[in-house]
Structure 1
Amino acid sequence: MAKISELYDVTWEEMRDKMRKWREENSRNSEQIVEVGEELINEYASKLGDDIWIIYEQVMIAALDYGRDELALFCLQELRRQFPGSHRVKRLTGMRFEAMERYDDAIQLYDRILQEDPTNTAARKRKIAIRKAQGKNVEAIRELNEYLEQFVGDQEAWHELAELYINEHDYAKAAFCLEELMMTNPHNHLYCQQYAEVKYTQGGLENLELSRKYFAQALKLNNRNMRALFGLYMSASHIASNAKASAKMKKDNMKYASWAASQINRAYQSSIIWVTKETHNRLLRYDVKNRKGKECEDRKGSRRKGIGRTTAKVSGMFHVLGSY
């Protein structure tokens, strides 16, 4: 198998920087992380300095996600050797237990970590993740609520709790969680959109009005949010056809729905034009490439008139395979 550095003509420093970028962005591109990270570990470990330890951790988590248990175990053993007794390394051991579906062993390990360090948020979150993986949503919700009593500012936990409530069809509590998120981050269009979706699902004229307003707010924050645009159309349409709505409310919402429909149609037409142009350009490039290839083959053919027909066929076959 070709090395990443040779295949893409990159230096080990560029590969290291790419791994750092993926860590900072919290990317879950496990296959790429494993490919790049494994080469860094095998070929350039001595050059990485202290960066090697964070790369071991990053590669181990990606390897668990990608099903490369032998690589994950190798990284874990290196980290244990360097940091014996570390809670962070113990948590990684627990994550390997999770990947192997040894949930009881993982929970016991996390409990021991929490006995030694009750403020270890990572271990508590892993326990909640296990409850969720086991389909024990009620227990996960209970533990997540207990966690948020101590760490009320954890936005990730609020969002996870909202998702769990949605899965349990408890939309009122899900809406409360999303309200907490919007208070701490009012410029996040995705929170506004998800809150609007919950209110739309709850139904009723009052909730539909709130839904329409927050779909509009999500669009204001990001005018390319097509899901919010469709939501605005749907909520406004339902209000316009609601028997409890006043005549003015119906008229206004018909106007909003009409505007949203026109924007959706415009976006759809633009996407068709873009796809058509892109397809045309690709076909054009393909045609030019084929013509150049044919001209090249014609020139080659004219230079080797003495070659037999069978040999020419074999040469052509290898040429095609080589190009591919």
Structure 2
Amino acid sequence: MYEDLSWSEAKDLLRKWRDDNERKSDEVVQIFEYCLADKIKKLGTERLIILEQVFVAALDCSRIKLAEDCIRVLISEFPESLRVMKLKAMLLEALERYDDALDVLESIIKKDETNAAARKRKVAILKAKGQISDAIKELCDYLKKFMSDQEAWHELCNLYLIEGDFTKASFCMEEVLLHNPYSHLVHQRIGDIRYTIGGQENIEIAKSYYAQAVKLNGNNLRALYGLYLCCSHIATSKAQVTKRKEAQKLATWAMSKIFDITNKSSKQQQKSSKTSTGNNKNSTDIEALEAAFGNLDAKLN
């Protein structure tokens, strides 16, 4: 496919993918090998940025030899560059030489404490090594300098969940919520964590988050089922009579909504299926619940 491209067309295509922030690792490696590998000197001022692009793509494709060839040229051109040092750490990480990669990243951070990429790579390596407590400490230090990094807060939440520290995990997701107040998935995630912590107070808090998630997206089955569980718990608790009645009413509504969504989905699947034989019966309540459970593994994007 790419063999017929001229070297200038190949260079322009790689530039377009960089500008559009498209990874396309397999294609990048193929274009480089077919069209550019023997024409490096013709690339002019784009030579080094293309080598960096190919280096990352080669790591994605487990083409270690190609990645080593690219980094060798980059190091010879910029031996003191922090950007190239980060690439070197990525290569060491791909080779599972984690301690060596950490040493390189530490040297980058000593030279530039605000280097966010190096700090994130350090957290990733510590996590890969199973050193979760160290990864948490490093990520907390990072967030002291980059408090608005939503991805970092989200990752810190995941690390706390691994450690079983649900209270701190909830705090992290609340920080994410400050930046995404209209994300039904964030509300749902906080509801999940609060429900897991348990206790009457946390169940009621979880109910509020689930309700908001459903308000933002009425088809969120996980939030609907979480709302049903919370309300069912409150309805059988020692809460005030009015609160119990309200919870029972809301639980009934949530379950009926689950039935409506799953039955509708089931009917659509039946219509689209070409291999089904005989007459299909209407889904029962049990089938609807099974479909609801099957959608409980929805994850944050």
| TM-score tier (shorter) | 0.7 to 0.9
Shift of 1:56: 4.4
Shift of 1:68: 2.8
Instruction: Give the Cα separation in 2 of the matches to 1:223 and 1:136.
Output: 39
Shift of 1:208: 0.8
| Alignment-derived partner of residue 32 in structure 2 | 41
Instruction: Give the Cα separation in 2 of the matches to 1:123 and 1:93.
Output: 11
Change in 2 beyond 3 A, CA 1:83/1:210: same
1:67 and 2:62 aligned:
yes
Does the CA-based 8 Å contact 2:126-2:135 persist in structure 1? yes
User: Which deviates the most, 199-208 or 221-230?
Assistant: 221-230
Change in 2 beyond 3 A, CA 1:113/1:241: same
Q: 1:257 aligns with which of 251, 256, 277?
A: 251
Shift of 1:184: 2.6
State how 1:3-18 maps to structure 2 within 5 Å: 3=1, 17=16
| Alignment-derived partner of residue 105 in structure 1 | 100
Shift of 1:60: 3.4
Instruction: Give the Cα separation in 1 of the matches to 2:73 and 2:87.
Output: 12
Instruction: Give the Cα separation in 1 of the matches to 2:165 and 2:202.
Output: 15
| Alignment-derived partner of residue 214 in structure 1 | 209
TM-score, normalised to structure 2, is 0.77
1:239 and 2:230 aligned:
no
Letter in 2 for 1:144: L
Shift of 1:191: 1.7
Does the CA-based 8 Å contact 2:143-2:152 persist in structure 1? yes
TM-score, normalised to structure 1, is 0.72
Instruction: Give the Cα separation in 2 of the matches to 1:99 and 1:185.
Output: 33
Change in 2 beyond 3 A, CA 1:277/1:61: farther
In structure 1, list runs of 5 or more residues that go unmatched.
28-32, 284-324
Instruction: Give the Cα separation in 1 of the matches to 2:210 and 2:3.
Output: 46
| Alignment-derived partner of residue 276 in structure 1 | 270
Instruction: Give the Cα separation in 1 of the matches to 2:46 and 2:259.
Output: 50
Deviation sequence 1:149-174 (CA, Å, 0-9, x none): 22222222211111111111111111
State the secondary structure of the residue aligned to 2:99.
helix
State the secondary structure of the residue aligned to 1:280.
coil
Change in 2 beyond 3 A, CA 1:225/1:17: farther
Aligned residues: 268
| Alignment-derived partner of residue 111 in structure 2 | 116
Q: CA RMSD in A?
A: 3.0
State the secondary structure of the residue aligned to 2:273.
helix
Change in 2 beyond 3 A, CA 1:142/1:277: same
Deviation sequence 1:46-70 (CA, Å, 0-9, x none): 7987667555445533443443322
1:174 and 2:169 aligned:
yes
Instruction: Give the Cα separation in 2 of the matches to 1:189 and 1:56.
Output: 41
Does the CA-based 8 Å contact 2:89-2:105 persist in structure 1? yes
State the secondary structure of the residue aligned to 1:164.
helix
- Bigger Rg, structure 1 or 2: 1
Letter in 2 for 1:34: S
